[in-house]
Amino acid sequence: MKKQGIAVEWIANFSSEVVPSIIDLVNCATVDGGTLGYEKPMSDDEAKRFIGDLKHRVSGGEAHVLVGSTKGEAVFLAILSLNLMPNCRHRAELSKGVIRPDFRGRHLVELAFSQIVLRAEQLGIEQLVLDVREDSRAHMLWRRFGFVTYGVLEDYARANTEICRGHFMVQTVESLRKRIGSEIT
């Protein structure tokens, strides 16, 4: 699918073109103050582990990876991690959400969420959960899109010797669909 000049696809094949682009995207967002679990750009070893884990989870049916790109460059990434426990298959985690800093403000969040809603509905997922560092740009964004905190962890992350609180948030797929309804294609 292509919208706003952005090709959007759920990837299963981690080609030699897409892998460096994903790593570059995560690193670029980290440098810009993104709180993605990294304080600085990934080392080569960290990048190999990150991509290796992602490939393993996708091939095992545990995760779905959404990439938006233009001119061969990833501009957003979202990871939908499934809950494989029989009693919890109605729930999935948004475990990464990244937009290239120079592409923010172009409604790519709505574009990504529209695809996440469609995929979640196809998979029978009714509830989306996530965790985020308190008062980060991402925390404010998730709240703006209707995610609500159901728990707080005082010692969620440690960055530059600072102990950061984390929020665990939830929203139903139905609620997210209503919130971005006109964007869903």
Could you read off the pLDDT tens digit of each residue along the chain, which spans 185 residues? Answer: 777 789 999 999 999 989 999 999 999 888 776 655 677 888 999 999 999 999 999 999 999 999 999 998 999 999 999 999 999 999 999 988 899 988 988 889 999 999 999 999 999 999 999 999 999 888 999 999 999 999 999 999 887 788 999 999 999 999 999 999 866 66
Contact 62, 95 (CB under 8 A): no
Distance CA 17, CA 29 (A): 19
Strand segments, DSSP code E, in 12-147 are 63-70, 73-82, 91-99, 127-133
Instruction: Please give the residue range of the domain that contains residue 102.
Output: 2-183
Instruction: Give residue 32's pLDDT.
Output: 75
Q: The domain that contains 90 carries what CATH number?
A: 3.40.630.30
Interior CA angle at 163 toward 63 and 49, to 5°?
Answer: 30
Query: Exposed (0-12), middle (13-18) or buried (19+): which is 75, by Cβ within 10 Å?
Result: buried
- What is the tally of structural domains in the chain? 1
Output the six-digit token pair for 98.
């990244």
Q: 10: closest CA among 77, 71, 85, 60?
A: 77
Is the C-alpha dihedral spanning 97, 52, 75, 174 positive or negative?
Answer: negative
